[in-house]
Amino acid sequence: MLYDIKLVTEYRYASPVPFARQVLRLLPVERPGQRVIAADLSIRPAPTERTDSLDFFGNRITTVAFAFPHSELRLETRARVLVEKAETRATQKTPPFEQIRRSAVAETDLGPKSPVHFLFASRLIALDEAIGDYAQESFPPGKPILEGAFELTKRIKAEFKYDPEATDVSTLPADAFAKRAGVCQDFAHVMIAGLRTIGLPAAYVSGFLRTEPPPGQPRLEGADATHAWVAVWCGREAGWIGLDPTNGVPAAEDHVVLAVGRDYSDAAPADGVIVISGDHSIDVAVDVIPVGA
């Protein structure tokens, strides 16, 4: 599926910001099954400094600095991305989860796609016994890794409430788990915490969902903003497979990858330092439109 993507993020500050330095992850890159035909990020006002590069996990990052007062900031991403159609991978044969657990800790590869980076606690995701016990219910002895992970995906969809008022960007997985409520970031963090606690590698993925679903299919939760889901390492042969606990589905043709990391802090659309006095507001608008639709 070929998509035209438009993401507009607008910040408004109560008082002028005299200085800011930010790291932006707002441009998609080539990944397996995903081809970026064109992508551009426009910034208004124009920053004093701008550098584009790739981080360790292969995400495209734009580092900007503003050394002058400004009361507003507008970031606009436009991209055309081809997501290859693939047969659903949620039912493919994968090794038992016990084998994956042993293989992951024995990996000697330290490259960005290695499972060793996604086995342990990270900045925003602690190993949690209660969440681990919850995840373990989907992994009886001998359960194939993908089958168990997909079952956990569907359980989170069924047992957690999508509620943007229940959490905020700083909510930790333990709190979202206790509430059984949150948004896509929370559901992804909870699922990752559970998998890592029982020794299984899981990564955080941010990206976009198509705005308009195919005819006869329901609109997916999270299509109005950047979305988040989970990639589970299913062994060297199967590799990383995406699962969306917010919607209880595999990450497939509807999902466009923006960034990958250990948790939200590695894949956040924007972070950095802003010198500010007073409050600020942010508006985000996303359109992911199939070309020709």
Q: Which pTM was predicted?
A: 0.93
The number of angstroms, rounded, from the C-alpha of 172 to the middle of its chain's C-alpha atoms is: 15
Please tell me the distance from the alpha carbon of residue 282 to that of residue 280, in angstroms, as a whole number: 7
Instruction: Phi first, then psi: give them for residue 186, nearest 5 degrees.
Output: -65, -45
Strand ranges (E), 60-201 = 60-66, 70-83, 161-162, 181-182
**pLDDT values of the chain reduced to their tens digit, one per residue, 293 residues:** 999 999 999 999 999 999 999 999 999 999 989 999 999 999 999 999 999 999 999 999 999 999 999 999 999 999 999 998 765 565 678 999 999 999 999 999 999 999 999 999 999 999 999 999 999 999 999 999 999 999 999 999 999 999 999 999 899 999 999 999 999 999 999 999 999 999 999 999 999 998 777 677 776 666 667 899 999 999 999 999 999 999 999 998 899 999 999 999 999 999 998 888 778 899 998 999 899 65
